[in-house]
A = this chain, B = another copy of it.
Amino acid sequence: MFDKVALIGIGLIGSSLAHVMRREKLANKICISTRRKETLDRAEKLGLGDTYELNPEIAVEGADCVIICTPVGVCGAVAEKIKSHLASETIVTDVGSVKRSVIDQVSPHLPTNVHFIPGHPIAGTEYSGPDAGFASLFENRWCILTPEANASPEPVQKLKAFWERCGSQVEIMDPDHHDLVLAITSHLPHLIAYNIVGTASELEGDTRSEVIKFSASGFRDFTRLASSDPTMWRDVFLHNKDAVLEMLGRFSEDLSGLQRAIRRGDGEALFELFAKTRDIRRSIIEQGQDVEEPNFGRDSS
């Protein structure tokens, strides 16, 4: 599909893309660039690409597709570095969990003869780094693209086809709407998970070790999200502040309502909520976005 793809950043998403591009033969040549020499050496040892460059300027030379796979906080700096080295008609995209901020950071730097199409694959694991990637990460997952209204249709179609070859379904969305939807489906869940694990880790004395011992009663589920990459998530919250604060406000209001119901012994209010939340999981399973097996199937192994 592409002659040369430059991957800037080689964490979970970048390395998964490298694997699936190779398997599906989506690029003649993959050039990997990342800031830290140690990470680049690791990527080379894993054989993720064809060439390896510390300088993103060199990496993007002659590429017809550049995929920025860094934490969202450094997208702007990457764009500034590569801007004078991009070939005409190159597709520049990214994989960040926030879209408005990435557009604001990246767009001003890019020349008008390249096609900037922001993207976000809705896929991941709690692991990070070049060792974490695998080719099937994007299978049956959605990928959201947020091109500007005046974007040329051909490169958007090409990038859509690329993600479909990676196993994903593609949805085109307004960047602000993306940021609001992801605030509730992804950013708030991670924030809540980090928070409860933080609360538990500050318990006094024996209780902390008991939290680990008896975690199968519910707590362990949260520790998965709360072991995600700290840099990536710091940047998400700094760059999607408004939408996250909006959703956090709603969550906190609802939680105050539950707190009051518990304090007053209002069993009806509790039952009413607990009975209706089952439907959402059923829909998620029906749409193939989670498994039906008890405990995510993990205890049956």
Contact = CB atoms under 8 A, between A and B. Distances in A.
Interface in A240-288: 241, 244-245, 247-248, 250-252, 254-255, 258-259, 261-263, 265, 267, 270-271, 273-284, 287
A27 interface: no
Contacts of A299: 125, 136-137
Nearest to A294: B125
Contacts of A287: 212-213
- The main secondary structure of chain A at its interface with chain B is helix
Interface string A208-227: 00111111111111111111
- Please list the 3 inter-chain residue pairs (A to B) with the smallest Cβ-Cβ separation, ordered nearest first: A125-B294, A186-B217, A230-B274
13 contacts: A137-B299, A181-B214, A184-B200, A185-B200, A185-B218, A198-B273, A201-B279, A215-B289, A215-B290, A216-B289, A220-B284, A233-B274, A241-B263
Given A186-B217, A186-B219, A226-B277, 10 more contacts: A181-B211, A195-B258, A199-B254, A202-B250, A220-B284, A223-B280, A230-B278, A237-B262, A238-B270, A241-B262
Interface of A: 97, 122-127, 132, 136-137, 141-142, 144, 171, 180-182, 184-203, 207, 210-228, 230-231, 233-235, 237-238, 241, 244-245, 247-248, 250-252, 254-255, 258-259, 261-263, 265, 267, 270-271, 273-284, 287, 289-291, 293-301
